[in-house]
Structure 1
């Protein structure tokens, strides 16, 4: 097992690599389908950037590709990839074999008939999933929760509430991430007297935030980490795992748990209903839950593993886990409510906040 020092990137190396672009699955639809007929090829849909890179390091390269599986990667944002799976429901065969999504994204795809019901007899490692994490259409790989993150060189007293982002003293220094916009709706709904089943009060509070501090909106985690390291951004909200990862990388970023409670999230994998290579897709799901892969992805990302046999080092577990009191305060997504409203939330965000 590598040590904590081995896991931590240097500040210089981290900032050099954060801006790296992603590779999108290329070629015509016809040639892609023809190539994927081969039983040894698997098409993986995922976010790009360091997320896909870490999935490659923890699972895809050392376990699957090393054994001869040819992996093609279709990398894009979640809304783009969801639209693709929904469009392929009517096709005899789709273009994706496994896809990475959040728990809420997976629910939305499932109720619209885009996902394969899972046969857990083909995923024996799922026997070690933590209580409450077995799902009929989605296999979680890791989990965390949204909390506050800040630059301790710029903000000496740790923030304690999502309300701290509205502080006029931070005007021009507040950052938001387009990639996780829905978490801000939840966070500010909680702050404004709403709930996980009623984000409407949060919309007005986010408009107050925009007026008070003119937040900078970044496309991804990598970009906001660079902005916080340079001093362009002092404070934001992000996953606890990201704060732990960046702290370990010796970036000037720390996490702080909000008094309103964090927003829980799971990341995992689904099999599209029209997947061409379901045999390899099940192998992917099973291998990702093996102790070595679960331990590796947590070591790389600082997200907590979804299985009980990852055997993480105590110091790492301390960094990525919530205390008992914090776990009791975590707020969980109402999947049905989110699925019903997500399209209009995204439209509102793009029109009112992102611009």
Structure 2
């Protein structure tokens, strides 16, 4: 009888364990590690999301900034990732997804995705915000706002133009828009390279990160650049008179993607992703770095709404290039940029 009772108790405990009843040891309380984009994005992520997540769950959030080299590391370690999630642009997201480095997302575990714009929904990640890549310019030096991507070639800006390196996101965006503005597109990129060759003598510098671009504007040498409009608010807050141009061809959409690494999607990760999409977080990113909400039901005050992509019509107007084509050509275009464009920069 004693052995029977002991066996019954052990069986009951095992059954409870499968249900998670009274068995907290199986709950994952290890730190959640986010590979993020750095700068003000990380500050807002920590203040508006990570701290609340830790308070609710008791799980520490570790935020690590990324670089282009880190993307290669993520891919190399895809079968044993050291991060849980990556926050990145749609180009890097596409590259990682194509190469099997991401986990599929279960939208049923992320309630705040119910009202996402279609543009923010993807199989292996969620779009958390939209921003335009446009021409950012110094309003003290350029009194007439640019109205077209073609204005980058204005000879009046010679010696004060900076451009992003290819293959960073903004560099790819600018190359594609140079092609599109003058009769080509991502399928006919030779047009873009030809126009960059023509622009190169006017260029005073090439930036590799947004921090580089911000510093160039702060030093006063940069008057105009293809750049992420989301960096305008913090740059202005630092005392630099910059603005984002409204261009007739439109702005290229920059979708900030939050995606789980391969084998990492879990209830813990799903909860963090859900908190990233709260209305409060969406408003915080709009206020802090000019990122428009990815949710259709977020309401912004008029003065804030005027500074970000907001509402169905504006979101629909954002340009979304064919990233499958771009990503497949990224390395080739990067080599061409170094070979054909860099040697011409600043040359008469």
TM-score range relative to shorter protein = 0.7 to 0.9
Distance in 2 (CA, whole Å) between partners of 1:61 and 1:346 is 38
**How far does residue 334 in structure 1 lie from its aligned partner after superposition?**
0.6
The correspondence of residues 75-154 of structure 1 with structure 2, limited to 5 A, is: 75-77=65-67, 79-89=68-78, 91=79, 93-154=80-141
Matched residue, 2:6: none
Runs of 4+ in 1 over 6 A off after TM superposition: 322-326
The whole-number CA distance in structure 1 between the counterparts of 2:99 and 2:160 is 40
The equivalent of 1:303 in structure 2 is 291
> Are positions 1:48 and 2:35 aligned together?
no
Tell me if 1:294 matches 2:282: yes
Deviation at 1:245, TM superposition (A): 4.8
**Are the structure 2 counterparts of residues 225 and 318 from structure 1 closer, same or farther at C-alpha, using a change threshold of 3 Å?**
same
Assess if the C-alpha contact under 8 Å between 2:48 and 2:284 holds in 1: yes
**Alpha-carbon distance change, 68 to 100 in structure 1, aligned in 2, over 3 angstroms:** same
Contact 2:35 2:87 in 1 (8 A): yes
Encode CA deviations 1:301-334: one digit per residue, 9 max, x unaligned.
1110101233322210111136988766532121
- Contact 1:97 1:278 survives alignment (8 Å): no
| The structure with more radius of gyration | 2
1:57 paired to 2:57? no
**Displacement of 1:253:** 0.5
Distance in 2 separating the partners of 1:252 and 1:351: 34
Q: Offset at 1:164? A: 2.1
Contact 2:149–2:178 (8 Å) recurs in 1: yes
Say which SS state the counterpart of residue 188 (structure 2) adopts.
coil
Q: Where in structure 2 are the equivalents of 1:170-181 lying within 5 Å?
A: 170-178=157-165, 179=168, 180-181=170-171
Gaps in structure 1 of 5+ consecutive residues = 1-36
CA distance in structure 2 between the aligned counterparts of 1:157 and 1:265, rounded to whole angstroms: 25
Distance 1:122 1:172 in 2: 52
Cα offset for 1:207? Answer: 1.4
Look up the match of 2:145.
158
Structure 1 segment 181-260 matched on structure 2, within 5 A: 181-211=171-201, 213-247=202-236, 251-260=240-249
Partner SS state of residue 88, structure 2: strand
Q: Distance in 2 between matches of 1:326 and 1:284?
A: 28
Write the distance in 1 (CA, Å) between the matches of 2:335 and 2:28: 39
Q: Deviations over 1:145-202 (max 9, x none)?
A: 1221111211121122222222232222111234421111112111221124332210
TM-score when normalising by structure 2 = 0.81
Residue 315, structure 1, aligned to residue 303, structure 2: yes
CA drift at 1:61: 2.6
Contact 1:304/1:321 (8 A) holds in 2? yes
Size of the aligned set, in residue pairs, is 314
Q: 1:62 to 1:249 in 2, by over 3 A?
A: farther
| Structure 1 residues 132 and 156, CA gap change in structure 2 (3 angstroms) | closer
Unaligned stretches of 5+ residues in structure 2 = 1-26, 344-348
Please give the TM-score of this superposition, normalised by the length of structure 1. 0.80
* Root mean square deviation, CA, Å: 2.5
Contact 1:229 1:253 in 2 (8 A): no
